[in-house]
Amino acid sequence: MFYKWQREDSSGDLLRSDETVLDFTFISERNFILIILLTSDGDLRIEYGVHGGTPKHKVVAIKDLAPDCANAAATLCLVPDASCVALILISGNVLLIPIKMLLDVPWGCEGIIADNTLALIEVETNESDCFRTPTSALCYNALYSKRPFLIYSNKAGQIFIIDLSSRKLSVGLGAPQSVHVIETFITSNSVHLLVTGFTGAQWIVPLESEGRSLRETLGDVIPSELEQLHKTSARLSTTQDGKLCLLCIDQHKVQLFDDISMKQSSSEVNVPENTWLVHMAENTIFAICQQTTVKTAVHFGMISSFAEASFDELETPFPEERILGIIPIASSQFLPSCIVISEKGAVRLLPARTFDEAIVEFVARRHFAIEICDYLATRFNHDRLKLCTKVVQHSLRNIKEQNNDSEIEAITKLALDAQVEMRAAIRIFAEFDAADALLPAMLSRCSMNACDESRHAVVELYVAKLKRLPSAKESIENDLRAFLLEYTDVDEGVESLLDNGLWSCVAVIVPRSAHNSEVTAKFLTESKADWPAERASHIVRILAGICWSTLPHNAEELLARMAYFLPHLQSTSHIATFAKIAEEQMNRFHQAGATLYALCSLRLLSATPSFNYASLPSNLSLSCGSNCTAVISEDESVMFIGEFSAGSMKMKEAEKSKGTSASRVALPQAVQVPERVCSVSCGTEHLLCLTIYGKLYSFGRNRFGECGVGHKREVNEACRIRGPFDGVRVVRAGHYHSALIDSNGRVFTWGWALHGQLGHDSRDHFEDVTVPRLVESLQDPIVAVSCGYAHTIFLSEAGKVYACGNGGYGQLGCGEEVKKRYRPELVEIAERVKLISSKYFHCLAVTESHKIFQWGTSPQTLKMKIFLAKRVRAANKEQQQQSSSSPSASTTPTDKSPEQLEMSQTHLSVVQVEHMISDEIIQIDAGYSHSAIVTKTGLIYTWGKGLEMQLGHGNKKEQEEPHQLFEPSAIVWRHVSCGFDFTAAVANDGSVFVWGRNDKNQLGVQSALSPQVTRKLIIKGPKGPRSIQIAADSPCIAVPTRLPSVTAFVRSEVSSDQINDANFIHFLQSLDQHPNFCVQWTAISTLLSNYPIGDLLLRDRKLSAQAPMILSANPEMLAGLSGLQKLRLLEKWQPEAPLYPMQIAQNDLQNVGSRVRYWSCCGSVEKCGSSRTSVIAEKRRICSKCSDAWTSSVKSKFSKYEA
């Protein structure tokens, strides 16, 4: 609401209840206003004054001036120079009253009436008294003669034009009906009279035009020939700025015209329903509805584009009074005022808003468009940026007060379009708790320009979003973490992240600066709240990322907090990380470091599996299937991305999913496995998970029994695979079958068996195997196995490779095409092999001399070779026919030899892959038509087909030899896995990178949109050419891209298999070499108070002799020891002072003999003296400390203290 109303008669001399206003006249100029109201009581109520000042009021009774005309006035008007007031009497006569008789003013001395006397102009009319009554009057100065004229009308339809200079009737006209109101439309060269009848019909009468005077012009006017302008549902009026205003009542709109022809409207605007009067001011439209309602619409001069005006009620409802008209007020204010004349007097309409408030409201109603602000800045001569900033500030304040954030996006866009400085924008939005509204725009700017400065403010915006939406903390934290992983130079905001518990984001940002390390260490040390146990993995990463060398003295307190937090760690990798930190800091903070290291060692000892840790495979934390990826995360949980399906998306499927796959990102899903997983292997439709205890779990579609759980029904949750094997150390998932190697080197296979790929030598039946079954034909211990599409290869401890299953594409490496082989047979490779790999149709082997061998090929590759060979044959044959029919001496046939046309069979045999890799190869993996290796120094090499960008070189070029992956730089690779036509790899810090085809979101990242064009491939066949539709290129990731949502498990350098009993005891014994001898006892007491270690302590002479001293501080520290173990400790101990009693069961005492003295009344125990010979007699004595308490028999005391 932009306007409010205020009664003008502030002097208190208001109209009586039965008094009404009959008519009014006014003069309104920029610095002056004069208003005269004619009331039903025959009074003239006058208001006058200058703009900005206090208006003056006066009431003059007509009877005091002209007693004969006391109640005879019907209407009135002011002459143009305001020298007198013309009262048109009921009789039709005109009474001229000099202004000086009404007001004490300096003007009016040289007007049409020079003296202060009344003048009566008689106008004769033949009409009856009733029809003679005047209805409307006006005065104007003639264009050419400059003489003042008075024009008035009456109910009879007569119009009288009186020359005020001569005070005579000049012209008389007759209208077709009774006249309601008359107005003049004056231009630079013409004057027209607008006549409105009582029925609403309107006519235009020319008064002066084309240089002709009033008499000359009216001489050509024939009243009977005047044509009605329009229907009665429209009303024409004039505006203050000299335009014609056409109000279309039925259509609820107003049209403005610049000339009398009204051929083309200059602007058009809607108005409310039931509008009968409109005043078009400079910046506002005032509309009178239903006689008593006032509505306003602020337009600030934008009428041309203001077809949909927004009309408001007044701040308080307008009085229920019939409105007669509107008096415009010429003003330079940004919002104009006006005076509404009602039947009860004058009411002024004033702006209810300040300039800022009005501008904000105006822009808000136009969706905060920057174009509106540009226009307003120009119109009001304001600085554009300051105006936009002001609009943003006030809009945000309004939104906060009204709890309405629906417009926040538009306000944000305005701030950005206005190019408000980033920090200033954040400060403004933060003031009203809306800083996160800038987040989408900031992220968009960063995506378009990775070096945009706005990236450094994103953390602050995410934190603001979290404060506003605390329930969405998980998604907000994930999004922020993904951003920080992508923009590695962002290191601001660690304080906010810590305060709001965004631990995963802190883990990413803390290593980026020494300041972050210091702030984080201080926070973790001084925090009164316990560290969140549920975020243990992130806490570990934070502590591992801290730059400990730059930390001040509080680092020792931080190590102590780590020891307190240690019981919450469940992952051995996390405990090993704590141990590594403690070992590194022991030189600086010996006591705290030694304590933490001792505690970590005990935890790792208790977590050691029952079998030798060396029998486990190296951790395979990443595996790719056909359209899925599995990753062991840093907290040793299994994360699954993608879907269980075979091959790439078909053409029809691609058409259905156009435009969606690129914008959709598959978030990793956690697979619940009961135990800690150390290795994963993905098949096409199933996943195998191996735990650190050698147990195997699986889940998937299980259509061929590949999950190994005894049936072919779908397995929706990880299910334990059981069988006659000992401690699994290697697992591999193939297309639809699986294999494992146990701790004895035996191989078990299960799943799809049609092609003999299980190696069970069962030619007489081909049923699928649903539980693991031993491959009996393999006599040598097996150290590695790989499952392909329909074949399996094995690597023995002696470095020999065996293969079985389908060999139609050379998978068996025997030099010939073998359809099926049911028994594993040797693949002839001259050297000792150390690594093997196969997932689909080709196999790889790496020898100890680092040579790479390959055999087999994919069906598509083989078909393409056959197709090309046929094309060559057909071309040669056609060329031979042309040569024989028209031989030419200048042409020589280019016939190919039969050997050249023969289809190459090299894929059936083992061939060496040439390469220039000098480093040791530690891992190799094969995809559908590409391969990858990892070297000891952390380099990745890829080769093969590259149509889906699966090689990671940023192009689709095929590579016949291994080529190094150079991007991203400065990455040390740990592991690589090839999927169907994509690749994934793990870096040394646990970062996971993906590249290649992403049509089924198997990469877990968003890929760029590909051309949405269906291609056609024309193939010439024996039955003629035919076309094949090929789906548009699928979304691909061209180069290795960080998977932001997962960090892979990477085994720590301080691994649990390096910690054993001997090393731990040696560590504790070496502590007394430190000058501060009490460090040893502090470490022992701390570890015993948390982890009673039982026999481990008793096996060391030195520790067992010193452990009883701990009892003096807290007897509960040895609560984990049995009674016999406690007695064995006490045998070597002579106390210097009485201690708290130790409770020992009676049957334990009977087995001890004469080694100790005990008091049966209280159970206190002490070592017997060497000279004492009768222990039995001592047992009957009473302890001196509790002699008063001895009131019952020894037998009852025994039963009381029995354990």
Q: Find the mean pLDDT for residues 720-745.
A: 90
Predicted confidence band of residue 1185 (pLDDT cuts 50, 70, 90): very low
Distances from the Cα of 199 to the Cαs of 74, 128, 1082, in angstroms? 21, 21, 109
- Classify residue 441: in a domain, yes or no: no
Hey, CA dihedral for 616, 620, 625, 629, is it positive or negative?
positive
Cα 904 to Cα 862: distance, rounded to the nearest angstrom: 9
Question: Is 676 in the same domain as 816?
Answer: yes
Residues 6 or more apart in contact with residue 441 via CB below 8 angstroms: 412, 413, 416
Amino acid at 309: A
Answer whether residue 592 shows pLDDT above 90: no
The pLDDT of residue 1179 is: 40
CA distances from 1134 to 408, 1126, 1159, 1176 (A): 79, 14, 17, 21
pLDDT of residue 185: 92
Shared domain for 1015 and 1120, answered yes or no, is: no
Torsion (CA) 145, 150, 154, 156 in degrees, nearest 10: -30
> Which pLDDT value is given to residue 1178?
42
Cα radius of gyration rounded to whole Å, the chain = 50
> By mean pLDDT, which of 755-764, 800-809, 888-897 is the weakest?
888-897
Cβ–Cβ under 8 Å, residues 965 and 919 = no
- Listing DSSP states for 382-401 in one string gives --HHHHHHHHHHHHHHHHHH
Starting at the edge strand that comes first in sequence, how are the strands of the sheet with 32-39 ordered? 21-29, 32-39, 43-49, 56-61
CB atoms within 10 A of CB 992: 29
Range of the domain at 639: 614-852
Q: Are residues 1030 and 1096 in the same domain?
A: no
Query: d(Cα 423, Cα 426) in Å, to the nearest integer?
Result: 5
pLDDT given for residue 21 in this prediction: 93
Tokens of 898: 């039969």
CB atoms closer than 10 angstroms to residue 388:
24
The reported pLDDT for the residue numbered 1096 is: 47
Buried b (16+ CB within 10 A) or exposed e, 69-86: beebbbbbbbbbbbbbbb
Residue 908 sits at φ, ψ, to 5 deg, of -80, -15
Ranked by mean pLDDT, the top range of 221-235, 388-402, 955-969, 1138-1152 is: 955-969
- Amino acid letter, residue 850: H
Give the count of beta carbons closer than 10 Å to the beta carbon of residue 114: 11
The 3-state DSSP class for residue 247 equals strand
Same domain membership, residue 941 and residue 808: no
Output the CA angle 932-937-941, nearest 5 degrees.
20
Determine contact, residues 841/858, Cβ cutoff 8 Å: yes
CA atoms within 13 A on the CB side of 232: 5
Q: Which of 313-322, 432-441, 735-744, 901-910 has the lowest mean pLDDT?
A: 901-910
Query: With 90 as the cut, is the pLDDT of residue 784 above it?
Result: yes
Residue 664 has pLDDT above 70, yes or no: no
Looking at residue 1180, its pLDDT comes to 41
Contact residues for 235 (Cβ-Cβ < 8 A; gap 6+): 196, 200, 202, 246, 247, 249, 276
Give the confidence band of 419 by pLDDT, cuts at 50, 70, 90.
Answer: confident
The tens digit of pLDDT for each residue in 444-481 reads 888 888 788 888 888 888 998 888 888 988 889 888 88
Q: In this model, does residue 833 exceed pLDDT 90?
A: yes
Whole-angstrom distance, CA of residue 455 vs CA of residue 451: 8
Indicate whether 638 belongs to any domain. Answer: yes
| Residue 1191, pLDDT score | 39
At residue 1162, the 3 state secondary structure works out as coil
Q: How many residues does the chain have?
A: 1203
What is the SS3 assignment for 950?
Answer: coil
DSSP E strands, 816-929: 818-827, 833-838, 843-847, 852-855, 911-913, 921-926
**Mean of the pLDDT values across residues 272-290?**
89
Q: Do residues 934 and 820 share a domain?
A: no
Kindly state the helix (H) or strand (E) to which residue 670 belongs, with its residue range: strand 669-671
3-state secondary structure of 883: helix
> Is residue 1184 domain-resident?
yes
Q: Is residue 880 part of a domain?
A: no
- Is 1037 a domain residue? yes
Q: Is residue 800 part of a domain?
A: yes
What's the domain count of the chain?
3
User: Distance between CA 963 and CA 854 in Å, rounded?
Assistant: 16
Q: How many other C-beta atoms lie within 10 A of the C-beta of residue 969? A: 5
Express each pLDDT in 971-1029 by its tens digit. 889 999 999 989 999 998 888 999 998 888 788 877 655 444 445 556 666 666 666 55
- 1031 shares its domain with 1099: no
Closest to 856 (Cα-Cα) out of 915, 909, 793, 933: 909
Q: Which of 836, 852, 868 is the last residue of a domain?
A: 852
Q: What is the CATH number of the domain that holds 767?
A: 2.130.10.30
> What's residue 1170's pLDDT?
42
What is the sign of the dihedral through the CA atoms of 1160, 1161, 1162 and 1165? negative
First to last CA, the chain: 86
Asked whether residue 190 is domain-assigned, the answer is no
Between CA 1049 and CA 541 the distance in angstroms is 11
Cis peptide leading into 968, omega within 30 of 0?
yes
Q: Looking at the structure, tell me whether residues 1043 and 1106 fall in a common domain.
A: no
Q: 578 — phi, psi (to 5°)?
A: -60, -40
Strand order, beta sheet including 686-691: 677-682, 686-691, 696-700, 715-721
At residue 931 the predicted structure's pLDDT band, cuts being 50, 70 and 90, is: very high
Judgement on whether residues 1111 and 1028 belong to the same structural domain of the protein: no
Strand extents, DSSP E, 1122-1174 = 1156-1158, 1165-1167
Q: Which of 109-123, 402-416, 771-785, 1053-1067 has the lowest mean pLDDT?
A: 1053-1067
Q: What is the pLDDT of residues 892-923, one digit of tens each?
A: 444 444 444 455 677 688 999 988 888 899 99
Question: CA 1173, 1174, 1179 angle in degrees (round to 5)?
Answer: 140
Domain final residue pick, 852, 876, 893: 852
- The pLDDT of residue 792: 95
- Look at residue 329 and tell me whether its pLDDT is greater than 50: yes
Assess if residue 1072 is contained within a domain: no
Q: Are residues 928 and 1017 in the same domain?
A: yes
Q: Rounded CA gap, 251 and 257, in Å?
A: 17
pLDDT surpassing 60 at residue 1189: no
pLDDT digits (tens, 9 = 90+) for 593-606: 888 887 787 777 66
Q: Which two tokens stand for residue 311?
A: 């009309």
Say whether pLDDT at 436 is over 50: yes
Number of Cβ within 10 Å of residue 548's Cβ equals 17
Among residues 1023, 1047, 1071, the one where a domain terminates is 1047
* Residues 687, 786 share a domain: yes
Residue 578 pLDDT grade (very low, low, confident, very high; cuts 50, 70, 90): confident
Interval 86-141: pLDDT, tens: 999 998 999 999 998 898 888 777 777 767 789 999 988 777 777 889 999 999 99
User: 661 or 65: whose pLDDT is higher?
Assistant: 65
pTM value is 0.58
- pLDDT number for residue 511: 86
Indicate the pLDDT class of residue 765, thresholds 50, 70 and 90.
low
Q: What is the number of H-type helices and E-type strands within the chain?
A: 28, 58
Q: Can you give the pLDDT at residue 1126?
A: 57
Q: Considering the chain, what is the average pLDDT of its residues? A: 79
Q: Which of 512, 436, 502, 434 is nearest to 473 (CA)?
A: 502
DSSP secondary structure letters along 493-528: -HHHHHHTT-HHHHHHHGGG-HHHHHHHHHHHHH-S
Which of these, 1094, 1099, 1069, 1049, lies nearest to 602 by C-alpha position? 1094
Q: Are residues 1034 and 1162 in the same domain?
A: no
Residue 707 in this model has a pLDDT that exceeds 70: yes
Cα distances (Å, whole numbers) of residue 304 to 243, 267, 283:
14, 5, 12
> Based on the domain organization, do 1027 and 1097 belong to the same domain?
no
Question: Which of 75-89, 528-542, 1100-1114 ranks highest by mean pLDDT?
Answer: 75-89
Q: Could you tell me the pLDDT band of residue 1101, with boundaries at 50, 70 and 90?
A: low
Say yes or no to pLDDT of 791 above 90: yes
Q: Find all residues with CB under 8 Å of 471, minimum gap 6, and list them.
A: none
Q: In the chain, pLDDT over 70 holds for what percent of residues?
A: 77
